[in-house]
Chain A
Amino acid sequence: MRAEPACTASRARSLRVESVDGELPRGDLRGRDRRALAEVQRTVLYRRHVESGARFGPFAGYEMPIQYEGVLAEHRAVRERAGMFDVSHMGEIRVRGPRALPFLQRLTPNDVGALHPLRAQYSALLTERGTFIDDLLVYCLDPEDYLLVVNAASRARDLELLETAAAAEGHGVQVDDQSDETALIAVQGPRAAEIVADVVGGEAAELRYYSFLHQDGTNRMISRTGYTGEDGFEIYLPSERAEDLWAEFLERGRDVGLAPAGLGARDTLRLEAGMMLCGQDIDEETTPLEAGLSWIVKWKKGDFTGRDALARQREKGCRHRLVGFEVEGRGIARHGHRLTVRDAPGGAGPVTSGAFAPTLGRAIGIARLDCGGGGSPEPGSAATVTVRGREIDCRIVKLPFYRRPKRGV
């Protein structure tokens, strides 16, 4: 048997560490060879993961827990009860000063001016071509104080871009990388609110979606955000306090079935929820308009990086489109396979994310189609994907694949 991470195109010669990202170095497990991981970083919660029986894999330069009990069980825990993720590898960049607001308005496409204190916003850093350098969250602490939460893989590049822009701005904007001293724990699922309220205080359960609170005593920030398609919270806190909080969540969440969950489940959860993974679905060749994220582009707020290119694309229409699809035949479409739409308007292109969707019980994916000038395919269009030389029937569907049921009143 020769195994390889599902989203890697090249052939592996022997059994490999599972990976959730195709662009990462892969470690050879035979003989328990861990040399490939020697250079990578660990989060402050590493010991806790070992205690919980985690299996690790490389992700964005970190040795991260991929799974504990198993991806399917962890996925189910988050959909039905609650799961807890260590996502401390994410970057936190603080942007402060009297010029912070106009600075971020110019660097991101969403409208930071519309962001009230203690609210968060999904946005991006774009190239002049309007393509993604990174996607990110902007937290407004006050109109002169913001926290950007960025992907680990692009953190260095984001920081350089922000620092260069701040230097050009002169006085008035200060950029600080707080990633190393900040841990991030996500608690997600229908039972997350009661667990989080129990551990950090009842006011957390009162938070609206995409709002947050700051607790002075413990210096932690609790926001009602996530990357799973469920209700949930993300807790930013000083690294030295992360181990205790992790243990407290495990202890106090036990009664409602809180399970530690790894990046494997995080990937299937976010894919079912139709959320893009930067560096895989969206990258420097993809614009927000092509990705179905035109809502993060605010045309009325003035100039921002990439605006001219996006305006031209809006005028002319998008040649490339990210679309969701379901596999109807037997098989699983994976990153790098090719999807072809058979109904008009057609299109073809690589699958950017593909997996078996545990909640739906079938394989799903996102593909980046070249639609020529014909417009994007309609939901319901027939398509095929080629897997190991065989064509498998698929159907184009609207994103998201999964929407959480409304609970309570």
Chain B
Amino acid sequence: MIPDDRLYTAQHEWLKVEAGEAVLGITDFAQQELGDVVFVDLPAAGQEFAAGSEIGAIESVKAVAEIYTPVAGSVEAVNDGLEDAPELVNEDPYGEGWLVRLRLGEEGPRDDLMTAADYEAQLAG
């Protein structure tokens, strides 16, 4: 099931916006395509990012996936648990496998974000 409490990008990231903050992760489809995640490269707290910029990377045994933020913001926190347990991205991509929490900037999220239903339609298409 694709959680309907958040928004999605065409590149298989999810974004959960709450009270001026946004949590970013990758979708279940994305983790399946990547396979066993063995390393997650995340930004430092406080770093600022423009919408659409690369904020990190997820590496599986055989592939590297760059992660882009669909919103501008500064990094409030990163998921430290992924350092010792990168497999959380595979096991719980919508929960324990979250990547970063951003403090949102002035401009809101990009307007091409999808609802869960739209994202599901994209996967089916």
Contact = CB atoms under 8 A, between A and B. Distances in A.
B77 interface: no
Majority secondary structure of chain A interface residues (helix, strand, loop or mixed): mixed
Interface of A: 1-6, 14-16, 18-20, 29, 31, 66-67, 70-73, 75, 264, 267-268, 330-332, 334, 355-356, 358, 363, 388
B65 A71 contact: no
Given A267-B62, A358-B61, A2 B36 contact: no
The 9 closest A-B CB pairs, nearest first, are A3-B65, A356-B38, A71-B61, A72-B36, A18-B62, A1-B65, A18-B63, A1-B11, A2-B66
Nearest to B11: A1
Contacts of B33: 3, 15, 18, 29
B119 interface: no
26 contacts: A1-B26, A1-B65, A1-B66, A1-B67, A1-B68, A2-B66, A3-B30, A3-B64, A3-B66, A6-B59, A6-B61, A6-B63, A14-B10, A18-B63, A31-B125, A70-B36, A71-B60, A264-B35, A267-B62, A268-B61, A330-B39, A331-B41, A332-B64, A355-B61, A356-B59, A388-B57
Given A1-B13, A1-B30, A31-B125, A18 B35 contact: yes
A268 to B, nearest CB: 6
B6 interface: no
Given A2-B11, A356-B38, A20 B66 contact: no
B34 interface: yes
Contacts of A332: 38-39, 59, 64
Contact of B39 (A2, A3, A14, A331): A331
Interface residues of B, number: 28
Interface string B16-29: 00000000001000
A31 B121 CA distance: 10
A72 B61 contact: yes
B52 to A, nearest CB: 12
A359 to B, nearest CB: 12
Nearest to A263: B62
Contacts of B75: none
